[in-house]
A and B are shown apart, each in its own frame.
Chain A
Amino acid sequence: MSEPAIVCRNLGMTWNAGTARAHEALRDINLEVRPGEFVVLLGPSGCGKSTLLYLVAGLEAYNLGTLEAFGAAVSGPSPDRSLIFQQTSLLPWLSVWQNVTFGLALRGEPVEARRAAAKEALSRVGLSDAMDKRPDELSGGMRQRVAVARSLTMRPRVLLMDEPFAALDVQTRAKMQDFLLDVWRSSGASVLFVTHGIEEAVALADRVVVVTARPGRIKAIVPVDMPRPRDPFSREAERLRAELTGLLRDEVDRAFAEQEAFA
């Protein structure tokens, strides 16, 4: 077997460690993501899902354990691991195509090459017409698609996605999920996808990782052995949703109790 894309061993992370505001977000995370695998992180709000993606992206430093990507310890960001943020993150002073090829511009690629790359990436997300628009002229869903296109131009081997479709209506989200599966299949990249939607997890994942409330630990890893395209009304899907709902319920209750006690 080829080496795993991502390996976390006893990974732990405390925000503002060593200060009065220290806050343990993650503890004892043990997880392997295989090349080309689609892994979904599921957990209550505030459990540290975004934090885990930040660590894998190399944007924040972990304090405990080890974290490796393709056999090398993660010590900083790399175009190999591309993060699509929870909040929109398009640069408002750049046009859509300039946003999409921002990474290529950083490498000093010429304008024509960049425009061509933008055209290709945007057509893959169904936004060829938006090339020369500005981000604030797009809807929220379109912006997220541009963000996906931007990640694709970097040809990452790992796509990290932080609730990218949370703000979309049900129909648009379903379309975006299909589209994401297409992109995932054709790119061969691994995907680490955060959501708190159980339906979304069942629709997308090879494996669902359920994370506990603070500090985030792995409560269970649930494999989803369903062929794609998946029927959300099948018996197996039904059963998986019930299982995940049960696993999540206690955690959401605990998260709520904690946050209440905090306030």
Chain B
Amino acid sequence: MIARVAAKAGFHEAGRPLLSAERKASISAWASKCGWAIISVGMFALIWELLWAVGLADPKLLPPPHVFLGNFVEQARNFNTAQRWQIGAGVAAGPTPWEAVGITILSSTGRVFTGLLLAAVGSIVLGVSIRYSGWAERLILPTVTLLAPVSPVAWLPVAIFLFGIGNGPAVFMVFIALFFTMTLSTIAQIDAVDRNFINVARTMGATKRQIYARVVVPAILPGLLVVLRLNLFGAWMVVLVAEATGVGYGLGQVIMLARNTFNPSLVFFTITLIGLLGFGFDWLLRKVQARVLYWVPENKVIAGV
């Protein structure tokens, strides 16, 4: 008996590795994922470069990555910032190239984020009230159902009428693009809540309010975060469209500028930025998901990279 205890203790003393096996496995899985991502993108870039080297890809139309990523300073000059729109500021005046790109990225990101947040909060509140109160349902649901399928692009003039130019219309566009569909999907999630959960609360004497606050809302959160993630790309698209049509400066506006001045290098440079941003955002949301929804097993949180 004593020997066994001692052996056990000894095992713990000597046998504990620096990193637990689990942690090691997760690090190596992550490294292999990264490795494949690099190989995948690298291969794509290599093919592009090869096509350019043998003269198949015209650098004036399809400049290869080393061209459009190589002249950062040159590209950055096209990233307008608010200052350059000000009367009296010269073309040369303004922030450094890094600042210019950074400000542009931040302003687009901020719009996506703000719109997303407003739409998420608004749609949860509205969706829950529609299911909570019969009156809310009868008064509001038909309108929401009618407006949900309207393409966000159709709202663009409304955004401009209401908010003019600047952040307002772009945020409004993101909001409107997500709000109605997310409201409907909140309602669908509420209807799909496990009846047993609700019955448990009922047998314990829960009021309707308690059932909503303590059962329905926690139960629909995982599904809603998935919906939020799926709509993230839509939000980016809408912001780019809004910026491109001149309701604000930002990445969309840079793309439009590139189009008008026939600058393929700038297009691809901006596309690279947008791709990286979209990826980063998705990653962030997944982290939030894992954090907030600790009870949902990782592999159930929608398969992804």
Contacts and interface: CB of A to CB of B under 8 A. Distances in A.
A107 interface: yes
A168 B219 CA distance: 27
By secondary structure, the B interface counts as helix
Range for the number of chain B residues in contact with chain A: 20 to 34
B261 interface: no
A85 B196 CA distance: 8
Given A85-B196, A89-B196, A77 B202 contact: yes
Nearest to B207: A106
A154 B204 CA distance: 7
Nearest to A87: B196
A79 B203 contact: yes
Contact of A79 (B205, B218, B296, B297): B205
Interface in B174-218: 194, 196-197, 199-206, 210, 214-215, 218
A79 B200 contact: no
B295 interface: yes
Contacts of B218: 91, 93
B203 A106 contact: no
A4 interface: no
Given A89-B196, A93-B218, A134-B295, A81 B201 contact: no
A59 B297 contact: no
A211 to B, nearest CB: 22
A136 interface: yes
Interface of A: 57-59, 76-79, 81-83, 85, 87, 89, 91-93, 102-103, 105-107, 134, 136, 154
Interface of B: 194, 196-197, 199-206, 210, 214-215, 218-219, 293-297
11 contacts: A59-B199, A79-B205, A82-B203, A82-B204, A83-B199, A87-B196, A91-B218, A93-B218, A102-B200, A102-B201, A102-B214
